[in-house]
Amino acid sequence: MDSFDYVIVGGGTAGCVLANRLSASPQTRVLVLEAGGPDSGFWIPIPAGFSKLLTNAKYNWRFQTEPEENVHNRTIVVPRGKGLGGSTLINGMIFVRGQPQDYDTWAQLGATGWSFEDVLPYFKKLENFEDGASDLRGQGGPVNVVRVSERPELSEAFIAAAQQAGLPANPDYNGASQEGFGYYQVNQRKGRRWSAADAYLRPAMSRPNLTVQTNAHVTRIDFEGRRAVGVTYKIGNEERTVRARAEVILTAGAVQTPHLLELSGVGQPEVLAAAGIPVRHALPGVGNNYIDHFATRMNWRVKKPITLNEKTRGWRLGMAVAQYYLTRKGILTLGTGLAHGFVKTRPELETPDVQYFFVHASYANAGERKLDRLPGMTIGVTQLRPESRGTIHIKNPDPLTPPAIRPNFLAVRTDQEALIEGMRIARHIIEQPAMDPYRAYEMSPGVEVNTDEEWLDFARRNGQTIYHAIGTCSMGRGPMAVVDERLRVRGLDGLRVVDASIMPTMVSANTMAAVLMIAEKGADLIKADARVAA
């Protein structure tokens, strides 16, 4: 039987970071097991290719929520990256850290060592911000961060309209303040997607002490007593087992990490019993505290043919492709967000509670993103720190059966009010004079929607996740905490979780940057504990 010092389950965002940092010591043998394939594919390096990857089962697990009354019994797609690089292969590449208060809240909830002061050095360590280093920004790290280079006239008008509405401009939401409007920062390098595999895994692949196995679906964690000693996985129909001399590290993400724990008998006894799984270790928090960002998309028809709807068809698309391959510039460098906005929906708030994603394009279905044929523009509206909590739990003992995902969106009145007011403010921005030359009419939800009840019904019928699943193996010290502040699974030895599932509360941001930080800090915790054990 093969054995390694560390067995990393999941070659996604966090797994790539850990593979690099832990294998930096030549004496340490590291194995990465990834259920998907290698990070090769025509659309992966092209930023605009994300729309093709969102519906591609080769690179996307394509999970779905269970029908819930809160959203009129709809099922909602929950994309998760499949392959080396994980969700950084298919996401919109948006790089947002969040607010300092997010991490200070973690520390106050019992996650000692995770305040903003504690984590800022890791944010600076991981990034190469092309605009330069500062007290708050890093340069020279593996993760390339650039501002969106495109400046179409419609996004310029949107930012001007926000200022006409009394909202500030902000060139760096990852700097001293998040509030305001400007252009998104993205993980790209020379016009190409810069995934976690590009940043961390590929530079380490030549190390003889690092082994990366793709198409390896881990089916359970193996224990001796209360200690994790390895994992069992399948490649096709062949079952294999590997030993971990030091630790098994779960980096499978907020959907699959709790699922694997439950498959292995670690979790809430009632859930395990219902699924026919014997209880190895009772840990009631596993799969609970599921949080995600819920967003509505507001669309307007545009008067002029200056949007992506028509620029991505026919001869115009041909010109865009030629421009991209000659210069690495143009509309093919665009991901999910072009211009940003961070706003406070109530004047008494200290920091923004709603985020906007503006793009000069429109589509009927956010899950498919098939662009309209006529010119349009869209504002995605999301509440930054939702209070509604859901669950992700095992359905049956078959490891290939996806878990039941129940987000419980909009269950809390605070979430409803923030989203309603956020949409009203978005409409107010588009009504400003700067948008007059471009705004034809509001398509969705439409000007007939005005009351709180109408706005909320629109959100329930049309809102989608924006793919920021967190919290299902929460870090802290309470009875529902799954991992401690060093990311060790409570009550067990040799088992750690290092991914988005450990976040106790939502960060005011797209979650990729926070996951990279968690993995960087997690690597240091693992190495420090190894030195103590030695």
Tens of pLDDT, residue by residue over 164-197, are: 999 999 999 999 999 999 999 999 999 999 999 9
Q: Which pLDDT does position 365 carry in this prediction?
A: 67
Helix (H) or strand (E) run with residue 355 in it: strand 354-359
Pairing between β-strand 127-129 and β-strand 143-147 as defined by DSSP bridges: parallel
* Residues listed for the chain: 534
Q: Which pLDDT does position 368 carry in this prediction?
A: 63
Does domain 1-95+192-287+396-401+469-534 fall into CATH 3.40.50.11720? no
Does domain 149-183+294-383+410-462 fall into CATH 3.30.410.40? yes
Q: Which pLDDT does position 367 carry in this prediction?
A: 60
- CB count, 10 Å around CB of 237? 5
Q: Which pLDDT does position 145 carry in this prediction?
A: 98
Q: Which residues are catalytic?
A: 468
> In this structure, what is the dihedral angle of CA atoms 452, 458, 459, 461, given to the nearest 10 degrees?
140
Q: Which pLDDT does position 421 carry in this prediction?
A: 98
The Cα 123–Cα 125 span in angstroms is 5
335: which 2 tokens?
A: 């991901």
For residues 500 and 514, the answer to whether their CB atoms sit within 8 Å is yes
Please state the φ and ψ torsions of residue 415, each to the nearest 5 degrees.
-65, -40
Q: Collect the ranges in the chain with pLDDT lower than 70.
A: 364-369, 534
446: left (phi over 0), alpha (psi -120 to 50) or beta: left
Q: Which pLDDT does position 330 carry in this prediction?
A: 81
For residues 298 and 379, the answer to whether their CB atoms sit within 8 Å is yes
Q: Which pLDDT does position 43 carry in this prediction?
A: 87
Asked whether the bond before 407 is cis by omega within 30 degrees of 0, the reply is no
The full set of domain ranges for the chain reads 1-95+192-287+396-401+469-534, 149-183+294-383+410-462
Q: 32 by DSSP, 3-state: which? A: strand
Q: 78 by DSSP, 3-state: which? A: strand
The Cα 368–Cα 76 span in angstroms is 12
